[in-house]
Structure 1
Amino acid sequence: MTTWGSPEAVTELKVEALADLMVRPSGRALAGGEREGRLRVRCGQGSGRIGKDEVTGAQQLRRLTQVASRAPQALPLLISVNQEGGRLNALDWPHVVQMPGSQALGAAADSELAEQTGAALAGQLRAVGMTWNLAPVCDLASWPAAPAVGTRAVSSDPELVARLTAGFVRGLQGEGVAATAKHFPGLGGVRHDPHLAISVTERLLPGALLPFQAAIEARVASVMVGSHVVREFEDCPALYSPRTVTGLLRDRLGFDGVIVSENLSIPAVHAAAGGIAQAAVRAVLAGVDVVMVDSEVSRGNQPDRMWEAGARRRGQVVQALVDAVRQGRISRARLEASAARLLRMHARFGLAADSRQRPWQEANARAGEVAERLARQAVTVVRGRELLPLRLPASQAVIAVRVPVQGDRRADSARHAPDGLPALLGGHHPAVLARRPGSRSFPAGSGAVIVYGYDSRPGPGAHVSRAAAEVARLKAAGHRVVQVALGDVDDLAGSAADVLIAAHSPHAASLRAVAEVLFGQLEAAGVLPLSGAPW
């Protein structure tokens, strides 16, 4: 009997089937329904995607993947998802516990906690049938933050990032979810958002490869190659660079797992190769095993024409790979090698008809316990520790001023996190008033003003955030001010606040930890995981 990933499994496949395996999402209809039926008729394939306008909760997603895993003679179900914690969480329904992100791990600097975090995330994902997580981020943090990285990066210390990355990978894969180290060979120091432009850097930051080496030693299932140019290796985007993908990742670092591309549907990524079809061919020629052309968990609310365009785009990419083999540009053996790696990952991590899954409520509760532990260990007092806790008479009001999010970073779901800080502060002090920036309607004798925000910089090159500008206004009026950064610590740069706090996350557990630190129920233990910050 032929088993998945065996030599017989790939040699028996036609070229079309090999190419089809290497393109994500698959052409398999996951959600069913009328839209998938229309796609099958018009495009000859399903979307391979799950729209969150149709699947609106974890339990519904669990039922969908259980049905899909029982399809006769199908590969074990392997659906990828971006569930990093912090800024990037595809499963961001209100009832889903959201984990603080990578930089919170760096602030806590606890390898055991990093492993517990990976395991808790994996428990949530496996419970709903998601068995391939496009995490962890192995990029080094930098000051100022790279636009697409920020709190997604653990630290600027390569050895700390390596240690925590290895723990996270062990935790994730120990619970049956494939991990992905990204964005090889490292985005640290990159100045452009790769969704908007290709960044070019002459050399990697010192130690940038250490986290990837640690992930490989922890037997990480896959590595994602980025779209940025690192000229010390080759003067082209990394995912099109044989010297980077094959020479560095395969040969020098010894990685033998699945290499996956950055999302090729991003215009800035595929434009450099002359379109998405040629981008896929170039990536495979460089040594990439899986080309990503779309997200497998969609935010939804997209018209049928967009889903149809995505299915046709996928079909074009598959056909381009087939044509490249027939034209002699890519060998069949090259496709067989990639397909074999991918089939082995399906067999190891995929969801089969008889797979056992942890109950969702149990997995989510476990994630909640770990999220609380991580948030409490990560909160960092950057300035003014001697002024804490706030000891105010009940008659003095605490003013909470939330500065709105600026801009619209595409790879960021946390910007929509609910604002629960005023209510949490109210659990520690009887008089808490919420005000907008610029407000002057404060009660006489107010005790302290807490200015907080997630990302309030007007633009990537801005030196002073809107939150820091609000602090300056309040200080000029004679108020005692605490500033809390719920996202990138860049928001604190240039601030005149008496107390500066970095929470590294806007999610509920981090908000609770901030409130406890402010009023003395918790001693802040986090250490700022960035070098070069002007404190």
Structure 2
Amino acid sequence: MHSRTTHKGAGATALRAEVELLVRPGQQSLTPGGAEALLREETGVGSGRIGKNHVTSAASLRSVTRAASGTAFPALLVNVNQEGGRLNALDWPEVVQLPGSMALGAAGDGTLAERAGAAIGGQLRASGVTWNLAPVCDLAAWPSQSAVGTRAFGSDPEQVARLVAAFVRGLQTAGVAATAKHFPGLGGVSVDPHLAAPVVNELPDGALLPFRAAVQAGTACVMVGSQTVRSIEDRPALASPKTIAVLRELGFGGVVVSENLSIPAVHEPLGGLPRAAVAAVAAGVDLVMLDSEISRGRQTHLEQVAAVRRRSTVVQALADAVESGLIGRRRVAEAAERVRALHGRFGISPSTVLPACAETNTVAGEVADRIARESVTVVRGARHLPLVLAPGTALAAVRVPDVGQRRADSARQAPDLLPPLLGAGYPVIPLPTGGEVPDSVGAVVVYGYDTRTGHRSGAAAEAARLARRHPVVQIAFGDVDDLAGSPADVLIAAYSPHHASAAAVTAVLSGHLRARGSVPVEGATW
């Protein structure tokens, strides 16, 4: 009797250890300090997160991950969203930001996409971060979807597939795990999955091609989204056995990751967070994601405690589901084995050699400049360039404020770089939206990042107001459909608000660079 009880207890302990591997963030203390110590004292475990209110640079992140790797088992594996362009968790001023996927689509160069993956991978690995929740494999649409937009490489499935595969190769050659997302694709989805549960009848033609290419390129992970595709199964993809079977039929043998289950729009259709986690693992998901492991650090102590306890609830729900037969014991074992293999391949230990932050940042800067030069697109009005002002006149620069409607977006925090860059070649007068234009102005540059609400572009409306009296150049630093309906003489798509793209736009306006990009989205109208 005693022997049987001991065996049962050992089995429960082993099950618990495997289930713990399937839920991220984990339970390790990653950020040093009193707040994390207090959290561990109150809950018994660590937060599994690195808060950017405590870790404020790439160098300090490297120190934190180095220290944490000494106590991690299996090897430390920290995940992050670092896509380039619109979504980057490592967005400190000293970290070079690359133009994103749509810029690479506008350039159309697979070698450049591979260099971009390698550059981002180098930056991450130098900081001790070796798992990237990228690339986006979704197809772009016109008008853009708020959840995708410039995060996509474009709308042509074959070109997107080619660039996705190249990016995956570059990232993983740098020693960072890639995650192709959001299977089976958000193309055709009209609502933001962060805000509502998308449902579509069919996938767009070619939607699976980029995922197949990512799998063939060896992507370590694939993230399954929360969208329902009725032609596959009338159930959210991350809880759909048929959807995950489609992924496995593509030949994928790596880790299947869920979309962030902590988002209410993701878990509520499945009956709440614990039930959503159980449904996902039962369907074939190997690892349920409750949040990224590098956060902005804005949570209060009570919110952190609640997050840790939510995680514990999810772990308990999964263990209970195995005990009750809702999830097979073999299903958990195979998932845990895949997760352990991911840690073994990409995790870091104290003996792991990491590249230098400064060196990888230098390389990233060179790649960013190349992408920007190859991607900036003159959509209309090339005959008006270079922009030449009459003697004694100035260039007005009007920035249209962001509307801030996109959830998966860190680039709106980027500084406004255009006026000082333009100022190197022109006398520049910054003006507010709706402001009066002085008589000394010879031309106006209207620009914005995210100015579109529904079908109306605030930047295009401002260009229409000003075009009655002045030559106008409109620049879209975000989604290219910000240019739609604009009467501006010159329309330029930059695809990214970061320094390299703003500098390339300035060079195009002054005639020092010939724009070579083309809009990688079918159906675009101006």
Q: How does the TM-score come out when normalised to structure 2?
A: 0.97
2:70 equivalent to 1:75: no
Selected match of 1:436 from 399, 409, 432: 432
Cα 1:395–1:17 change in 2 (3 A) is same
Q: Secondary structure at the match of 1:381?
A: strand
Alpha-carbon offset, residue 311 of structure 1? 0.4
Query: Does structure 1 conserve the Cα–Cα contact (< 8 Å) formed by 2:258 and 2:287?
Result: yes
Alignment of 1:90-105 (within 5 A): 90-105=89-104
Counterpart amino acid of residue 249 in structure 1: L
Alpha-carbon offset, residue 128 of structure 1? 0.4
Alpha-carbon offset, residue 448 of structure 1? 1.1
Cα 1:204–1:18 change in 2 (3 A) is same
In 2, the alpha carbon distance for the partners of 1:164 and 1:12 equals: 45
Which residue does the alignment assign to 1:195? 194
More displaced stretch, 289-298 vs 134-143: 289-298
Selected match of 1:506 from 469, 489, 497: 497
Alignment of 1:195-274 (within 5 A): 195-245=194-244, 247-250=245-248, 252-274=249-271
2:461 equivalent to 1:466: no
In 2, the alpha carbon distance for the partners of 1:12 and 1:316 equals: 17
The gaps in structure 1 that reach 5 residues or longer are 1-9
2:446 equivalent to 1:493: no
Alpha-carbon offset, residue 394 of structure 1? 4.5
Alpha-carbon offset, residue 365 of structure 1? 1.0
In 2, the alpha carbon distance for the partners of 1:205 and 1:163 equals: 18
Selected match of 1:454 from 449, 455, 458: 449
Which residue does the alignment assign to 1:475? 467
Selected match of 1:322 from 319, 332, 343: 319
Which residue does the alignment assign to 1:45? 45
Which residue does the alignment assign to 2:126? 127
Over residues 410-441 of structure 1, what are the superposed CA-to-partner deviations in whole Å (9 max), with x where a residue is unaligned?
A: 21000111001011011122x11110111114
Alpha-carbon offset, residue 395 of structure 1? 1.8
Q: Secondary structure at the match of 2:345?
A: helix
In 1, the alpha carbon distance for the partners of 2:321 and 2:127 equals: 37
Alpha-carbon offset, residue 34 of structure 1? 1.8
Which residue does the alignment assign to 1:15? 15
Q: Secondary structure at the match of 2:312?
A: helix
Alpha-carbon offset, residue 12 of structure 1? 11
Query: Does structure 2 conserve the Cα–Cα contact (< 8 Å) formed by 1:11 and 1:336?
Result: no
| Count of aligned pairs | 517
Which residue does the alignment assign to 2:475? 484
Query: Does structure 1 conserve the Cα–Cα contact (< 8 Å) formed by 2:51 and 2:295?
Result: yes
Selected match of 1:528 from 511, 519, 524: 519
In 1, the alpha carbon distance for the partners of 2:217 and 2:11 equals: 30
Query: Does structure 2 conserve the Cα–Cα contact (< 8 Å) formed by 1:86 and 1:152?
Result: yes
Over residues 279-316 of structure 1, what are the superposed CA-to-partner deviations in whole Å (9 max), with x where a residue is unaligned?
A: 00000011000000122111112210011111001000
Alpha-carbon offset, residue 528 of structure 1? 0.5
Q: Secondary structure at the match of 1:219?
A: coil
Which residue does the alignment assign to 2:169? 170
Alpha-carbon offset, residue 447 of structure 1? 1.9
In 1, the alpha carbon distance for the partners of 2:438 and 2:225 equals: 49
Q: Secondary structure at the match of 1:447?
A: strand
Which residue does the alignment assign to 1:7? none
Query: Does structure 2 conserve the Cα–Cα contact (< 8 Å) formed by 1:158 and 1:207?
Result: yes
Q: Displaced runs of 4+ in structure 1, greater than 4 A?
A: 10-13
In 2, the alpha carbon distance for the partners of 1:379 and 1:34 equals: 47
Over residues 174-231 of structure 1, what are the superposed CA-to-partner deviations in whole Å (9 max), with x where a residue is unaligned?
A: 0100000000000011111111100111111100000000000000000000001111
RMSD: 1.3
The alignment-based identity, stated in percent, is 60
The gaps in structure 2 that reach 5 residues or longer are 1-9
In 1, the alpha carbon distance for the partners of 2:139 and 2:485 equals: 23
Counterpart amino acid of residue 65 in structure 1: T
Query: Does structure 2 conserve the Cα–Cα contact (< 8 Å) formed by 1:397 and 1:443?
Result: no
Query: Does structure 2 conserve the Cα–Cα contact (< 8 Å) formed by 1:27 and 1:47?
Result: yes
Alignment of 1:373-412 (within 5 A): 373-412=370-409
Alignment of 1:273-422 (within 5 A): 273-422=270-419
Alpha-carbon offset, residue 11 of structure 1? 9.4
Query: Does structure 1 conserve the Cα–Cα contact (< 8 Å) formed by 2:282 and 2:328?
Result: no
Alpha-carbon offset, residue 57 of structure 1? 0.7
Q: Secondary structure at the match of 1:188?
A: coil
Q: Secondary structure at the match of 2:513?
A: coil
Counterpart amino acid of residue 291 in structure 1: V
Query: Does structure 1 conserve the Cα–Cα contact (< 8 Å) formed by 2:122 and 2:360?
Result: yes
